[in-house]
Amino acid sequence: MIEFAYPKFFLLLLLPVVVYFLLPAIKSYGQALKVPFTGDIIKIKNATRGKALLTISAKAVRWLKLLFLFLIWFFAVIAMARPQFVGEPLRVKHEGREIMLVVDISNSMKTRDFRYQNNILDRLTMVKKVVGDFVDARTDDKIGLVLFATRAYLQVPLTYDRNSLKEVLYSMDAGMAGTSTSIGDAIGVALKNLAQSDTDNGDKVIILLTDGENNDGNISFPQAIKLAAEEKVKIYTIGVGGEEESFLGGLFMVPVNGELDEKSLKELAEVTKGAYFRAKDSDSLFKIYAEINRLEAKEQQGRFVRETKDLFYYPALLSLLLFCGLFLFMRRA
């Protein structure tokens, strides 16, 4: 599709007409110079009269010059109007939030206390399902993944590659990082990765999911809370775990003596202006991530770009070639 960046320049096409009618005509005031050899000129004209048929008449030359001048001006004005080829509008990928998922993979995440679609699942399997759906929904965000137990590990730095992140998420197993729980270290690793980001738009979030208490590691819970507050990173905390564990395919349900430190998780969320959630079953876990997705929704700007290619040099080149042609014609006329 051809468009003009400055269509108002087409008004300049009327400029020669305006000049023609507004400026006074050039008048002749008679013979200003007497030539003593007028007779010789007449003889020369009579001698060349036979060749006059082979030359272009003065009137034709005049009109041809006017045509050249018009075309030169016409293409010059088109070039000034700046013609462009404009493609179809394409949506620009919107830069969203930076979210670090911090997931507990200690041995306690093997506890089978989540019922989903008539099946009894362990906590980690249920978390994989819910977190995977959450990742799919955050199409415009950079997302990273920290797994922790006795030690905390950055498994996926902040990235737009959701498929790679989910591959790592689905491949993890409870107990692969130890048996204890280092929540403070996990928060520290997540904060460090967010701090290394080049962006500084205030849209950095940590979603911490655990079923235990901070009983290992180098960073205590109070220290982790202080660090998060200093970095101004919002943290959502999720306490996972049902009240009964399934045995023998669900034939027996045994009460679970959880070690979840809800008090510290609530304090961490409150200080960082996040929120604390308690997930006792699969429905509540789905609702929690849906609520976080709603709370952290980022208004889309709807920005579109269109491929633009300038074409002004084509009429500019035509105008220049016509000018050169007129110059050569006038020298030979």
What is this structure's pTM? 0.61
pLDDT of residue 248: 43
Which of 258, 15, 285 is closest to 129 using CA atoms? Answer: 285
Residue 225 structure tokens: 């809370």
Which of 99, 198, 88 is closest to 146 using CA atoms? Answer: 99
pLDDT digits (tens, 9 = 90+) for 173-210: 888 888 888 999 999 999 999 988 766 656 889 999 99
Q: Read off the pLDDT band of 253 (50, 70, 90).
A: very low
Other beta carbons within 10 angstroms of residue 8's beta carbon come to 9
pLDDT digits (tens, 9 = 90+) for 121-140: 888 999 999 999 999 988 88
With a pLDDT cut of 70, the percent of the chain lying above it is 78
Other beta carbons within 10 angstroms of residue 193's beta carbon come to 20
Q: Kindly list the distances between the CA atom of residue 304 and the CA atoms of 2, 201, 202, in Å, as whole numbers in the listed order.
A: 18, 21, 24
pLDDT of residue 255: 46
pLDDT digits (tens, 9 = 90+) for 286-316: 999 999 888 877 655 555 667 788 888 898 9
Least confident of 42-56, 286-300, 316-330: 42-56
Q: Which domains does the chain have, with CATH numbers?
A: 2-22+53-89+305-332 (no CATH), 98-295 (3.40.50.410)
Which of 131, 63, 177, 164 is closest to 293 using CA atoms? Answer: 131
- Does position 247 have pLDDT exceeding 50, yes or no? no
Cα torsion angle, 286, 290, 296, 298, sign: positive
Q: Kindly list the distances between the CA atom of residue 286 and the CA atoms of 116, 134, 181, in Å, as whole numbers in the listed order.
A: 11, 9, 24
Q: Kindly list the distances between the CA atom of residue 48 and the CA atoms of 44, 45, 216, 217, 324, in Å, as whole numbers in the listed order.
A: 6, 5, 115, 112, 30
Q: Read off the pLDDT band of 42 (50, 70, 90).
A: low
Other beta carbons within 10 angstroms of residue 124's beta carbon come to 24
Residues for the chain: how many in total? 333
| Residue-averaged pLDDT of the chain | 80
